[in-house]
Chain A
Amino acid sequence: EADIYQTPRYLVIGTGKKITLECSQTMGHDKMYWYQQDPGMELHLIHYSYGVNSTEKGDLSSESTVSRIRTEHFPLTLESARPSHTSQYLCASSVAWTGAGDTQYFGPGTRLTVL
């Protein structure tokens, strides 16, 4: 089992609220990722980080922001939630440079509903 955690698991919130989705891992992985996935649809990479103080935007444009102050922690923030942000948000981590057998491990996800 992967040691990567996300909170909250479920969140229902009103439009305009600021929210932060938490992600932490205890595997010492340098690289972390945030994906957005709608039901039955593919994963979309929205942010990633190579390590502390590194953040990059992914393939899918997102109104969210991320920070990486500690290796184990990679929170995602939405300043003003909208119904279009309703989705599942998955956090993942991997070692910085992959060798044979190294891959990404996913947290359980946060299912966000914005009313």
Chain B
Amino acid sequence: RKEVEQDPGPFNVPEGATVAFNCTYSNSASQSFFWYRQDCRKEPKLLMSVYSSGNEDGRFTAQLNRASQYISLLIRDSKLSDSATYLCVVILVGNQFYFGTGTSLTVIP
């Protein structure tokens, strides 16, 4: 079983739609959680951290559910520029990083 699992998609949504991605992790000792964005043929870039209390950055909301061992990313009012692959990252005790395989999002005009 993989440490981190994501639905690869693709998610094709119209502009203005709200879309949510989930990412599950298998190790209950996981300590830190992040979402990255990766554009085609570019490097992954940090999008936002994920905290137990949830956090919001403009149209993006990230949440952590420790009981069910998943993190989520919600994008409201989707823009064409949101089209990318979204990677979740889980960090275990001992500074071990685990990247999800990524969820592909395409926002359609």
Contact A96 B49 (CB under 8 A): no
Distance, CA A96 to CA B46, complexed state (A): 18
Total A-B Cβ pairs within 8 A: 48
Which residue in A33, A90, A100 is a CB contact (below 8 Å) of B43? A90
Interface string of A64-86 (1 = CB under 8 A from B): 00000000000000000000000
Contact B46 A103 (CB under 8 A): yes
Contact B34 A103 (CB under 8 A): yes
Question: In which size bucket is the chain A interface?
Answer: 20 to 34
Contact A108 B49 (CB under 8 A): no
Interface string of A93-114 (1 = CB under 8 A from B): 0101111111111111101000
Contact A97 B95 (CB under 8 A): yes
Q: Given A100-B49, A102-B32, A103-B91, verify A94-B42 contact (CB < 8 Å).
A: no
Contact A106 B49 (CB under 8 A): no
Q: Which of B36-58 contact A (CB under 8 A)?
A: 40-46, 49, 51
Interface centre among A42, A94, A102 (most CB of B within 10 A): A42
Inter-chain contacts of A100 with B (CB < 8 A): 32, 49, 51
Q: Which of B4-55 contact A (CB under 8 A)?
A: 31-32, 34, 40-46, 49, 51
Inter-chain contacts of B32 with A (CB < 8 A): 98-103
Distance (whole angstroms) from the CB of A81 to the closest CB of chain B: 20
Contact B43 A104 (CB under 8 A): no
Contact A98 B44 (CB under 8 A): no
Q: Given A42-B102, A98-B91, verify A104-B41 contact (CB < 8 Å).
A: no
Contact B31 A98 (CB under 8 A): yes
Which residues of A approach B to under 8 Å, CB–CB?
Answer: 31, 33, 39, 42-43, 88, 90, 94, 96-109, 111
Sample 17 A-B pairs with CB under 8 A, ordered by A number.
A39-B40, A42-B100, A42-B101, A43-B44, A43-B99, A97-B95, A98-B32, A100-B49, A101-B49, A103-B34, A103-B46, A106-B43, A106-B44, A106-B45, A108-B42, A109-B42, A109-B43
